[in-house]
Amino acid sequence: MSRFHVLFLCTHNSARSLMAEALLNHWAQGRMQAFSAGSHPSGAAHPLALQALAQRGIATQGLHGKAWDLFTQHDAPRISLVITVCDNAAGEICPIWPGAPLKAHWGVAEPGRLAAGKTTEEALRAFSDILEQLERRILRFLELPLEGMDPLSIKKELDVIGRMD
C-alpha cells in the first residue's frame, strides 16, 4: 500500500483522538498522515492533552476538535483506515466513508474522567498514561509491513493492537 490516511475518532475529539493524530503524524515521518474528528466535537483540545504531548516533544500546532462529516466531503483526503479510540464513537452509527476504509477499535480510557478530582500533577499523569498507551499501539502499527499485507491481514493485526494494554 502507498501512503495511508488514518482517521482517529472519538466523541468530543478533544483528547484521545487528537493525541493519536499527533502521535501518528510524529512517528510516521510522512509515510502516513493522521487526522482526527468526533461525532460531537468540542472544538478545542483539552489543555492537559496538549501539555502531555508537548512534554513528549510532539507538535500540537493546529490540533482542535473537528466534526467527522468533514471527512465525507468530496474534497476530503481519502481515508484508508478509521480507528475509534473511545467506546461511544465505536458504538455510534458512523457516516459512510468514501472508499470503504478499513475500520478498527482501539478503545482507551477517557483521560478527563480519570483526572476528575485529582491534583493538577495527578491529572496530567492520567493524560500522559493514555498518551503512552496510544503511543505503544501506534508504534506497533508502524512496524507492520503494510505494503505486503492484504486488507484482512491488516484488520487482524489492527484488532490485536487494539487489545494491547
C-alpha cell at 11: 466523541
Please give the angle made by the CA atoms of 126, 52 and 108, to the nearest 5 degrees.
Answer: 45
CB-based contact 128:51 (threshold 8 Å):
no
What's the farthest any 2 CA atoms get from each other in the chain?
A: 47
The mean predicted confidence, pLDDT, of the chain is 91
As a whole number of Å, the CA-based R_g of the chain is 15
- Provide the pLDDT for residue 94: 66
- Per-residue buried b or exposed e for 39-60, using 16+ beta carbons within 10 Å of the residue's own CB: bebeeebbebbbbbbeeeebee
Q: Using CB atoms within 10 A of its CB, is residue 163 exposed (0-12), middle (13-18) or buried (19+)?
A: exposed
Alpha-carbon span 66 to 15, nearest angstrom: 12
Alpha-carbon span 20 to 7, nearest angstrom: 9
In tens, the pLDDT along 50-95 reads 999 999 999 999 999 999 999 988 888 999 999 999 866 556 666 6
Structural class in CATH, domain 4-162:
alpha beta
In tens, the pLDDT along 122-154 reads 999 999 999 999 999 999 999 999 989 999 999
3-state helix, strand and coil shares in percent for the chain, rounded to the nearest 5: 45, 15, 40
Domain ranges of the chain: 4-162
Give 4's pLDDT tier (boundaries 50, 70, 90): confident
- Provide the pLDDT for residue 153: 97
